[in-house]
Amino acid sequence: MEMKISGPTLCPYLTRKHGPVQCEGAGSLLLQDSGLLGLLALCKTRSSRQGICVHSSAIKLGFQDQLLLNNHLLPFYASCYGIDQARKIFDRMYIRDVVSWTSIISVYVRCGNHQEALDLFEQMLRSGVVPNEFTYSIILQCASSLLDLDLVTRTHAQTVKCGFEHNAVLGSTLIDSYSKCNMLEEASRIFTEVEYRDVISWTAMISACIQAEDWGEAMRLYASMIASRVVLPNEFTYSKLLKACTSLGSNCARTVHAHIIRLGIKLNLVVKTSLVDMYSKCHRMADALKVMKQTSESGVMLLTALITGYCQTGDYKEAIAVFQQMEIAKISPNSFTFAKLVDVCSDVPVPVLGKQMHSRVIKAGLTHDVSVGNALVDLYAKWPSKSGSIMDFVRVFEEIASPNVVSWTTLIAGLVRHECEVEAFAAFEAMQVDGVCPNSFTLSAILKGCESPKFVAHVEKLHAYILKAKLGAWDISVGNSLVDAYARFGRVGEAMSISREMPSRDVFTYTSLAKGLNQLGLHRKALDIIACMHDESVKIDGYCVACFLSASASLAVVEMGKQLHSYSVKSGLNSWISVSNGLIDMYGKCGSMDEAHRVFVEVQEPNVVSWNGLISGLASNGQFCGALSAFEDMRLAGACPDGVTFLLVLYACSHGGLVDMGIEYFNAMSSNLYGVPRQPDHYVCLVDMLGRAGRLEEAACAIETMPFEPDALIYKTLLGACKVHRNLVLGECMATHAMELDPMDPAVYVLLAGIYDDAGKLDMGEQTRRMMKERTAIKCPGQSWIRNSLITTSLAF
């Protein structure tokens, strides 16, 4: 029987996406009784229009329930039309075997939808279908992607129970899975237990060592493989091994290259691409170009490797030039090429170039590709809001056919970068609804969006999720993000508890703890962290030194500050601007202005924080004219003062009795010369300055005319001046306003009672004190630190 098929396709998805499709475009199909295998072969070509016509023809012929046909249609629809269309085919299948289940599970794993893949695996087991070695291999890949060691070990045990312990395919997958879960010893044990180590097993173990950054062990395994003479490396082994050479240096790279030539390994595109990639990462572009010229064959991956090399050396013009050569040679860039080129555009601050590359991606029809889409989302997310709206990268994200965990993580990081924290949390929830499990990078990105105290509940939820997913046990970045989040909220107890539960801690962990302790005023405990870092051999970096210097400055412990100064010089950290600024601040607060000035002079390019530290030190040590002189030096050096600078200048004028000069600075700060907007703190300084000079009416006028609602502090400031200058009427007015805003502040009652006492109204003074007691506005005792030998004690007064 012969039948000619023509007419529109029966697939509604294709009709919706592309309009009616005629089978004549693929040529008329002559179907015979034995034509099913021909149909399957056409499906394997991944030609979308022909494949749809084949499926349409199969339905008309009544083959839609053929198991073999449907098993081949699953990967076809997944490849051409995404996971949703493949799932529709699977759900319509009346008969499913292990191939069907394995195929659909693998589709979900490839798309990063690991939870749905695991759910399907459970359904498969409940349906009575027995998994084979390929099914278990895919589940192991899923478990390792989730960094779920428990699932890896349970799946491993099941494979042994099913008699697959000596299976070469599973052996290689197990090695890879354990290595991804940071269990290199277990991976090595499995490798030694494999009866027959083929080239795949050797390659998997070498790759595991490289993944663990154990470059020396990777090279030792390679040497053992060569020495055994049973199995020789192939092109895939060298493609992995050459990655280790990137870290071991160019000499190692040349040695391995010589082995490739000596063993007669064919310099095909895989090896050639790996060599170009290796030399590029070693910044030896001349050697990379020599490899390019050895053969006339140059595929898209090879040219992409060359583009990547130019990107890594910062030669973006050459990278674009290679891309243009590809277009001239009519070599169609693939998704990886475009992803790299989009990365180039994200590193170059020229939005027009990025948009041009985006248009090329659209022209190539790759907007739905996940790797290209991820790069585009990152490109638009990195741009400042003036170069493009937030909706630009959200719109690009929505065009990705099957967003994976990288897609969602990039989107969340972009939203956090643009301070859209609420939308970032919504995206975090949406990715889980979509079946994509967050990884350590996702959690680190979303935790960065929890800087405001109003998001403390979100941090607690994320903490619970991390504990449930057991991610904190495997990835230090997740633990560090949690420690940093709790420390920012002042919940240092929780932060320290998490740090103790972490299998290891690094400098970021301890820096976050030190910052949190400093914020709470627990400076001595912050300094105690130095001993903890020393015990765990964690090297202190510049940011950490700056935190410890801040603690030393707050405690005025100049001895510890000098030790940190000495360490920073020996470690070369004194060149860090944050360390220099910390030293200036520390010496200034400890009264050692000569040392502070010496450190300042050594700073090659002092920033506004450096100048503020110097001015603050001079002003706080009574050198008010010196502080104003430093401000003039700052202006002449071309540095731009900020709001803090003017606070310090006004403080110097106030305490130095330079009222008229202070008023001039106050008036000048918001002028075109400086352009620094006045804040409430600046008005407090102005009122304090006028009050100290006895110009109380001017101070009161400044409060009435300020463009902000006065707070209790500014009223209390003028109240203090009224106490000094014995102005009862204005003092009563200021006290009334201050009590209305903060009735629990004992200082207001104490000052008002003192004014009454000075005015001879002792009964009013006693009445004010009784009011303070009735309102339980209790004055906290002051504290003074006294250092006796090596013991520091706190005395209340």
Q: What is the pLDDT of residues 389-442, one digit of tens each?
A: 677 888 889 999 889 999 999 999 999 988 888 999 999 999 999 888 888 889
Residue 30 has pLDDT above 60, yes or no: no
Q: What is the pLDDT of residue 48?
A: 54
Mean pLDDT of 455-477: 79
Nearest residue to 591 via CA among 565, 609, 618, 612: 618
DSSP 110-174: HTT-HHHHHHHHHHHHHTTPPP-HHHHHHHHHHHHHTT-HHHHHHHHHHHHHTT-TT-HHHHHHH
pLDDT band at 236 (very low <50, low <70, confident <90, very high): confident
Cα separation, 607 vs 621, in Å, equals 22
For residue 749, what are the domain limits? 714-797
CB 586 within 8 A of CB 574: no
Distances (CA, A) of 49 to 13, 29, 354, 368: 12, 13, 32, 18
Burial class (CB in 10 A: 0-12, 13-18, 19+), 559: exposed
pLDDT band at 579 (very low <50, low <70, confident <90, very high): very high
Q: What is the pLDDT of residue 793?
A: 44
**Residue 386, token pair as written in the block:** 């003036």
Tell whether 796 is covered by a domain.
yes
Nearest residue to 333 via CA among 359, 362, 364: 364
Tell whether 544 is covered by a domain.
yes
Residue 536 has pLDDT above 70, yes or no: yes
Nearest residue to 206 via CA among 184, 227, 182, 186: 184
Q: What is the pLDDT of residue 446?
A: 92
Return left, alpha or beta for 694; rule: phi > 0 is left, psi -120 to 50 is alpha, else beta.
left
Q: Largest Cα–Cα distance of the chain, in whole Å?
A: 123
- Please count the other Cβ atoms lying within 10 Å of the Cβ belonging to residue 767: 13
Element (H, E) at 784: strand 783-788
b (16+ CB within 10 A) / e for 715-731: bbbbbbbbbebebbebb
Q: What is the pLDDT of residue 366?
A: 85
Q: Single out the residue in 555, 582, 601 at which a domain terminates.
A: 601
Strands 783-788 and 3-5: unpaired
**C-alpha atoms less than 13 angstroms from C-alpha of 705 in its C-beta half-sphere:** 8
CB 110 within 8 A of CB 122: no
Cα separation, 591 vs 617, in Å, equals 8
Cα separation, 348 vs 340, in Å, equals 13
Strand partners of residue 788: 791
Report the sign of the C-alpha dihedral through residues 633, 639, 644, 647, in that order.
Answer: positive
Residue 300 has pLDDT above 90, yes or no: no
- If one counts the domains in the chain, the total is 4
Mean pLDDT of 254-262: 82
Q: What is the pLDDT of residues 185-212, one digit of tens each?
A: 888 888 888 777 888 888 888 888 888 7
Q: How many residues does the chain have?
A: 797
Percent of the chain whose pLDDT exceeds 90: 36
pLDDT top residue among 606 and 147: 606
Residue 135 has pLDDT above 80, yes or no: yes
Q: What is the pLDDT of residues 747-781, one digit of tens each?
A: 999 999 999 999 999 999 999 999 988 887 566 55
CB 43 within 8 A of CB 73: yes
Nearest residue to 609 via CA among 550, 533, 677: 550
Tell whether 729 is covered by a domain.
yes
Tell whether 85 is covered by a domain.
yes
Which of the given ranges, 70-79, 240-249, 720-729, has the highest pLDDT on average?
A: 720-729
Distances (CA, A) of 283 to 130, 249, 293, 643: 51, 10, 18, 45
Cα separation, 292 vs 306, in Å, equals 9
Q: What is the pLDDT of residue 18?
A: 38
Tell whether 387 is covered by a domain.
yes
CB 441 within 8 A of CB 477: yes
Instruction: Please report where in the chains the tokens 């991956």 appear, as a residue.
Output: 301
Q: What is the pLDDT of residues 100-115, one digit of tens each?
A: 898 889 888 888 888 8
Q: What is the pLDDT of residues 275-299, one digit of tens each?
A: 888 888 787 888 888 887 776 666 7
CATH number at residue 752: 1.25.40
Q: Single out the residue in 563, 580, 601 at which a domain terminates.
A: 601
Strand partners of residue 792: 787
Element (H, E) at 730: helix 728-741
Cα separation, 108 vs 435, in Å, equals 9
Nearest residue to 519 via CA among 547, 561, 549, 499: 547
* Of the candidate ranges 239-253, 364-378, 662-676, the one whose mean pLDDT is the lowest: 239-253
Q: What is the pLDDT of residues 331-355, one digit of tens each?
A: 777 787 888 778 877 776 667 777 8
3-state secondary structure labels for all residues of 372-428: HHHHHHHHHHHCCCCCCCHHHHHHHHHHCCCCCHHHHHHHHHHHHHCCCHHHHHHHH
Q: Single out the residue in 57, 79, 95 at which a domain terminates.
A: 95
pLDDT band at 29 (very low <50, low <70, confident <90, very high): very low
Q: What is the pLDDT of residue 382?
A: 83
Percent of the chain whose pLDDT exceeds 70: 86
Residue 504 has pLDDT above 70, yes or no: yes
**Residue 533, token pair as written in the block:** 């870092």
Mean pLDDT score of the chain: 82
CB 639 within 8 A of CB 603: no
Tell whether 316 is covered by a domain.
yes
pLDDT band at 50 (very low <50, low <70, confident <90, very high): low
Nearest residue to 309 via CA among 284, 291, 334: 284
Strands 3-5 and 29-31: antiparallel
**Residue 562, token pair as written in the block:** 């000098």
Tell whether 212 is covered by a domain.
no
The amino acid occupying position 478 is V
Q: What is the pLDDT of residue 471?
A: 60
Element (H, E) at 31: strand 29-31
Cα separation, 38 vs 374, in Å, equals 37
- Please count the other Cβ atoms lying within 10 Å of the Cβ belonging to residue 347: 11
Tell whether 658 is covered by a domain.
no
Element (H, E) at 3: strand 3-5
**C-alpha atoms less than 13 angstroms from C-alpha of 205 in its C-beta half-sphere:** 27
